[in-house]
Amino acid sequence: MKKIKHFVSVIALVALMLVSFEVQASGNMSVTYDVFTGVCLATASFDGCADEPVSIEVIPGDVDASELSISADDLQSSLQKITYLNLTTSNSSGKASFEFPLEESGKYIVRVHSMTNAGDAIEKTVDVTSLSDATERWEGLVSSPAENLPALLEILDVNDELILSLESDSELMSLIAEYDSIGDFTKQNADLLIAKIKSDCEDIVLLRDVLSQIKNANTTQVNSILSVPENAAILGVTDYMERYNALKNTKIADTAVARKSFTKDEFIDAFIEGIEDAEEAEVQNPPSNPPKKPSGSGGGSIGGIVSSPIVQAPVSSPSNPFTDISDVAWASDAITALYNKGIISGKSSNEFAPYDNITREEFVKIAMGAMKIEPFAGVSAFLDVNSSAWYAPYVNAAVSASIISGYSDVEFGVGDFITRQDVAVILNRIYKLTSSGDALTFSDSNDISDYAVEAVERLSGAGVINGSDGKFMPKSNCTRAEAACMVYRMMSLKEG
């Protein structure tokens, strides 16, 4: 074993070795190990030990600490058994940190103690797997990640309480069993895997919480539960909320699910049946007043994009409920037209938020709606696309149609704002422009990424995109109003 030595003063060393290895904890300590760098970080805090000398020794787990001695005959032998030895000074809060490499797999005893109060020590045992050993183990485990989840978490030294509490949960196992393309043992793949597992765990907990609320809710409480977009999304009924919100009275639909225990699929079936019964009742007994108009949020849509990509029949006259688009007159016609086609909606009943940036997954959903492409469920190749998330079916459809790509083979970039040049690329792929007029010359054309140059030229020549003050601003985030204009212009161009 390669030994790492940090020799301290003789006095400090003697004081250290005289202290009994019996632990008398008066504080707390955490020890983390980064398998990719082989570096261990030990942080300890002692009560009443501000600005005091603190020492650390690390010995292999198979070494008997009682064998360590500072006698002249045994000192050299003792030092050979110690993997790491160092001395530092705690800060004003009594906290001391040590960072050191551990290059070989095995158990180690990490012991930190106050040099001021002999015997005042904290000790932890850590199980280390070297990068080479971890890589070998990883390759044998990732083919069946659900069956081997505890072992994978051990390799990655995962201490997340939520993940650990669900690591044997059957529902989590079924989700992980569908994971695709986890890839080689790299930090990026490991981080994405943990992020995906954490997201799935959060969804499981949220789903169970919402189903519990439904189980304990009376008929009048169901509506308030479903009116929360996140609840509708996690229950899988976002696509039906527009019909639900259009009901004159939701009591029949609410009664169908109130105070009942469901799985997610059972709830969806019961909710749809309740909506259908309510709609049939209203046809047979039409209300004296017209049904209320669906909320501008698309009945629980996320990010202001309507739930279904299937374009619904437009209302008889172009109109919209938005009160915040008067100062974006250049975009109002596009927003109104797309709203009436069911392709976009607002962030609230009367707010479109034209200046808000739009995320990559939100724009994909708009694009799928404009194309009338049916979304489909399934496991994405991207580790950051949660299969139960509202946007997953639209990302799947866009990938299948070769319309989008991710940052890498395993990362889509969920939650990131989409740039103007990426919008141009997606629209160009959708409509496959083969010719256009003369492309505009932008003063910042050198800022356009190579992969986007052709798309920007074609769309600017076709009048789909333009700039401001002679600039295209390719890497600026695209706003909701800009996205609406570009999609509307492209649709008009193709339909014309």
Q: Does the structure show a pLDDT above 90 at 52?
A: no
CA–CA distance, 490 with 474 (Å, rounded to integer) = 18
pLDDT (mean) for 275-281 = 90
The pTM is what?
0.54
For residue 95, list its beta bridge partners.
45
Task: Answer whether residue 372 shows pLDDT above 70.
Answer: yes
User: What integer pLDDT is reported at residue 192 of this predicted model?
Assistant: 87
Q: Which of 246-250, 254-258, 492-496 has the highest mean pLDDT?
A: 254-258
- Which residues, 6+ apart, have CB-to-CB distance to 463 below 8 Å? 437, 489, 493
Distances (CA, A) of 34 to 10, 61, 101, 157, 194: 32, 19, 9, 8, 14
Q: Which of 445, 440, 405, 444 is nearest to 426 (CA)?
A: 405
| 439 exposure class (CB count in 10 Å sphere: 0-12, 13-18, 19+) | middle
Across residues 278-303, what is the average pLDDT? 52
Per residue in 118-133, pLDDT (tens digit) is 557 888 899 999 999 9
Q: Which carries the bigger pLDDT value, residue 270 or residue 300? A: 270
> Tokens 């069946």 appear where?
144
Residue 446: pLDDT band with limits 50, 70, 90: very high
Closest CA to 301 of 358, 242, 386, 222: 242
- Indicate if the pLDDT at residue 377 is higher than 90: no
Q: Looking at domain 10-128, what is its CATH homologous superfamily?
A: Immunoglobulins (2.60.40.10)
End-to-end CA distance of the chain: 75
Does position 81 have pLDDT exceeding 90, yes or no? no
Q: Residue 261: is its pLDDT beyond 90?
A: yes
Per-residue confidence (pLDDT) for residue 102, from 0 to 100? 92
pLDDT band at 258 (very low <50, low <70, confident <90, very high): very high
Higher pLDDT, 95 or 320: 95
SS (H, E, C) 410-460: CCCCCCCECEHHHHHHHHHHHHCCCCCCCCCCCCCHHHCCHHHHHHHHHHH
DSSP-derived secondary structure letter, 311 = P
Q: Would the pLDDT of 447 be above 60?
A: yes
Average pLDDT, the chain: 81
β-pair type (27-34, 39-46): antiparallel
Q: What pLDDT sits at residue 286?
A: 62
Burial 327-338 (b: 16+ CB within 10 A, else e): ebeebbebbbbb
Q: What is residue 65's predicted lDDT score, i.e. its pLDDT?
A: 67
Q: Has residue 15 got a pLDDT over 50?
A: no
Other CB atoms within 10 A of residue 231 CB: 21
Domain regions of the chain by residue span: 10-128, 131-207, 217-284, 329-495
Query: Tens digits of per-residue pLDDT, 304-362?
Result: 333 333 233 333 345 778 888 888 888 999 999 898 888 888 887 788 889 999 999 99
Per-residue pLDDT tens over the stretch 207-226: 999 999 999 988 888 988 99
For the segment 437-456, the average pLDDT, to the nearest whole number, is 88
pLDDT at residue 407, as a whole number: 84
pLDDT score recorded for residue 12: 46
239 token code pair:
């696509």
Q: What is the mean pLDDT of residues 78-100?
A: 87
Tokens 């007994």 found at = 285
Quick count: other Cβ atoms within 10 Å of Cβ 321?
16
Two structure tokens written together for 179: 């994971």
Check pLDDT > 70 for residue 263. yes
The length of the chain in residues reads 496
pLDDT score at 433: 64
pLDDT in tens, 151-194: 999 888 888 899 999 988 999 999 898 887 788 899 988 988 99
104 neighbors 84 (Cβ within 8 angstroms): no
Q: Using 50, 70 and 90 to split pLDDT, how confident is the model at 50?
A: confident
> What is the tally of helices (H) and strands (E) in the chain?
18, 7
Residue 7 in contact with residue 85, Cβ under 8 Å?
A: yes
Give the Cα separation of 259 and 213 in Å (integer). Answer: 9
The mean pLDDT value for 242-263 works out to 91
Instruction: Give me the pLDDT at residue 318, please.
Output: 55
What pLDDT does residue 305 have? Answer: 31
